Each structure stands twice: as C-alpha cells, then as structure tokens.
C-alpha cells in the first residue's frame, strides 16, 4: 500500500500522485517540471491505463491497488486516456 507521495521532494525532482478512482483521474490536469516523477495509483476494483494520446507514455494495465510511475523528461502538454475506458481523460503538462 502506497502512502501519499504528493509533493515529496527528492534530489532528482518532485514526486506527484494521480489517484485513479471511480473512473476518474484526480487531479485531471497536473502540471510538473522536467525531471519530476508522476505516480498513477489505481484505487478502483478493476484495471486502468494511463496512455498518452501521442504515445509519449503508456502504463499498460494498472491492476487494482497497484501503481505506475513515469519520469517526465520532455516539456509539453500530454493529454492521456485510459485505453480500457476511453471516456477517462487527463492531461499531464510538463514545464
Ligand atoms: Cu480505465
């Protein structure tokens, strides 16, 4: 079980958490800086993905109670969705 990592500072950058719960990414829009780590935590009872529409990143299926992390290396705005439930959308902004 992961504890909240939001805002925890590390030498390599900050770690942010996006919670997947009730078919939503929370927060739906997250702004980070290059080198920061983003952790998606699935609190639903079924798998989800966090898949960049531009394919910049792809978690593949994240099991219930599991998480997936990604270090943002390139600036830009990255809309993403869950490929298993395509109405689930979010945006990762890297500055
Ligand atoms: Cu999903």
| Residue 3 lies inside a defined structural domain of this protein | no
* CATH code: domain of residue 65: 2.60.40.420
For residue 56, the CA-to-ligand 1 centroid distance in Å is 18
For residue 48, the CA-to-ligand 1 centroid distance in Å is 4
| Residue 16 lies inside a defined structural domain of this protein | yes
| Residue 13 lies inside a defined structural domain of this protein | yes
The predicted model gives 16-42 an average pLDDT of 98
Look at residues 70, 68, 72, 90 and name the one whose alpha carbon lies nearest to residue 81: 90
| Residue 2 lies inside a defined structural domain of this protein | no
| Residue 71 lies inside a defined structural domain of this protein | yes
Q: Pick the residue with more confidence: 9 or 47?
A: 47
**What pLDDT sits at residue 8?**
54
Query: Across the strands, what pairs with 18?
Result: 40
Tally Cβ neighbours within 10 Å of residue 64. Answer: 12
pLDDT digits (tens, 9 = 90+) for 42-79: 999 999 999 999 999 999 999 999 999 999 999 999 99
Residue 34 has φ and ψ, to the nearest 5°, of -55, 135
For residue 11, the CA-to-ligand 1 centroid distance in Å is 32
**What pLDDT sits at residue 34?**
97
Question: pLDDT confidence of 1, banded at 50, 70, 90?
Answer: very low
Domain that includes residue 19, residue range: 8-94
The two three-digit tokens of residue 12, written as one number: 């390599």
């Amino acid at each position: 079980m992961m504890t909240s990592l939001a805002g925890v500072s590390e030498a390599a950058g900050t770690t942010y958490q996006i919670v997947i719960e009730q078919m939503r990414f929370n927060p739906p829009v997250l702004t980070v800086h290059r080198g920061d780590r983003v952790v998606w935590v699935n609190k639903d009872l079924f798998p989800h993905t966090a898949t960049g529409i531009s394919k910049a990143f792809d978690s593949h299926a994240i099991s219930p109670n599991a998480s997936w992390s990604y270090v943002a290396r390139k600036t830009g705005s990255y809309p993403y969705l869950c490929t298993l439930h395509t109405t689930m959308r979010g945006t990762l902004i890297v500055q």
